[in-house]
Structure 1
């Protein structure tokens, strides 16, 4: 038997989540043994739902349940309304994973066997990299059209399917972000905020990495040295003046955010390498550096800001 206070908590959380999204998938998702990735506050599991592979994002190590549930509800309200071929679809949620008596909020989305873009490109050196870039641009332009800031664009949160298109993965309750992809103003401003302009910068860094197989600031191995380099205005890449795609991406990496282009403009400028234009919905387990909790909430138009966590490369 559950203690009265724990039983009441499980019931309260379940009722609150049902009011946000009625798609409770308890006992309808089969969880495969073993986790696929993990972070400071949760794990990624693989499962099946209606014979389809799914990604199950669990949240286990929660200090303040009330505050966590409020943030989870805000994110679910936004995510469940998003419908786009390049944004991972939220299929529903679960209140427990191993035992009905143990609260373990979990979100269920599609699984993509090809994995994140960086992993995919290690296996498929001949992949159409420009098609992948356009897919990411498509998804991010859609988010911005809905007045939504992603806040943590990088190769690990983009995934590929068998047709070499890309989708953006929602990284629930993400941390402040990975330094290599943060816009200069997010690092140096006294009261940093992330917005569409900082998303554009992160997209530019991600796109150049896909093209070049080199991370931003690739010559710097120390994360705190990256912060120093950004503060001194060092660019993440030295751009080519002859490569057509790099010329198109250059406006994404303007040091002054007011000089940067918008994602809709980027999307219109990129050649369409998408073939017949049809894409699969997909998701993937993020890489092992995934952080499932943190001081910011970046999947809605409004978000909280907090202090910088320890850097993750």
Structure 2
């Protein structure tokens, strides 16, 4: 069966979560990326991951959400105060946050239950709803995605959106890595669902390269961190399927983290990937080909496109409409790599963009590439000179 692709007009970039919007379907499913970029959207996936949270209460809460009965089961979990900007969580185990705002995974067990929180400034529109800054009554900041469960369009579309959101929550609750955005918890109030996430104050890499011309040293450092996140995922047989600058968020300390796991999927001998899902300009050839299955190597192709995007400050296939780009990708034609890029950068991107997925290096292998280690070598040369 042919993959469904959705056309979406570009929308304004969201500082903490990539912007998406639902649009009428045609033949092929695509979500819009960050500001000033052509439409390229993510198609919903149909996989659900079992929760594996740190705490029994949190695991039970996610299980309730996944049960399909959360419309009624969640009705008693929270209540509003007189101030509409303040939300009080009555089920304390639902919402944990690191003490002192420290998101170091090594210290994750030192977490505190949040009894109340206040909604702050509007950050933008993310997948499924609006994104706000939030603050606990102890002064710790976080991001909160506010989803209107009754406002997701037609019934079939609504069920699909909710299913995709369930999948993202279930997967994020299992992941603990310094280069993956941290999930804190979930709460519901009437027809609103709140998803609490780590606040990434500098927005996405897409918004960053629109403001600054990134140097090779910047891109090298960011690439190394993305690779570390991918190694963590791939070691667990999880394919992200939508790696790009718009889905990589930047912390104020300069660290970057993979985000937006709405179409990520776990693969095993009983589950293979065949659906054409992701953002068109970053899709690997095997993803576009309906006759082929694919795996973690698809993320490596997307990483090559992401590095190219950071260094050139434009999308892969920059002069092509999405349909033209899709045609070239299906034929195994990688985007052009400008000659003005450094030799190491060109070689790194070329290795990622090998048409045959079996020829692409793994994320672990790419971690040893000279382009990724250039900043370390530069520091060592200064120390020994």
TM-score, structure 1 length as denominator?
0.71
The correspondence for 2:367, drawn from 249, 261, 267, is: 267
1:98-117 mapped onto 2 (5 Å cutoff): 102-117=190-205
1:23-45 alpha-carbon deviations (Å, 9 max, x no partner): 24786231125451245x32222
Which residue of the partner structure matches residue 296 of structure 2?
Answer: 196
Is the aligned partner of 1:144 residue 2:144? no
More deviation in 224-233 or 133-142? 224-233
Match of 1:287 in 2: none
1:176 and 2:277 equivalent? yes
Cα 1:56/1:173, change in 2 over 3 Å:
farther
Secondary structure of the equivalent of 1:132? helix
1:217 equivalenced with 2:307 (yes/no) = no
Q: Structure 1 residues 274 and 45, CA, compared in 2 at 3 Å: closer, same or farther?
A: farther
2:94 matches 1:23: yes
1:133 Cα offset (Å): 1.4
Shift of 1:123: 2.5
Q: What is the aligned residue count?
A: 257
| Aligned residue in 1 for 2:173 | 80
Change (3 A) 1:170 1:233: closer
Match for residue 256 of structure 2 among 166, 170, 174: 166
Distance 2:263 2:119 in 1: 22
Which has the bigger relative contact order, CA under 8 A and spacing at least 6? 1
Per-residue CA deviations over 1:119-176 (Å, capped at 9, x if unaligned) read 1123232552211111111111111112211111110010222343311113435893
Partner secondary structure for residue 130 of structure 2: strand
Mapping for residues 1-313 of structure 1, pairs under 5 Å = 10-13=71-74, 22-24=93-95, 28-34=116-122, 36-39=124-127, 41-49=128-136, 50-60=138-148, 61-62=151-152, 63=155, 71-96=164-189, 102-126=190-214, 128-172=218-262, 176-187=277-288, 189-191=289-291, 193=293, 195-220=295-320, 222-238=321-337, 240=339, 243-269=343-369, 270-271=372-373, 273=375
- Unmatched segments (≥5 aa) in structure 1: 1-7, 97-101, 276-313
Q: Which has the larger radius of gyration?
A: 2
CA shift for structure 1 position 118: 1.7
Q: 1:263 to 1:15 in 2, by over 3 A?
A: farther
Q: Cα distance 1:215–1:73, how it changes in 2: closer, same or farther (>3 A)?
A: closer
Structure 2 counterpart SS, 1:95 = strand
SS of corresponding position for 2:120: strand
Alpha-carbon distance between aligned partners in 1 of 2:255 and 2:235, rounded to the nearest angstrom: 20
Give, in whole Å, the separation in 2 of the partners of 1:173 and 1:261.
Answer: 23
| Segments of 4+ moved more than 6 angstroms | none
RMSD (Å) for aligned C-alpha atoms: 3.2
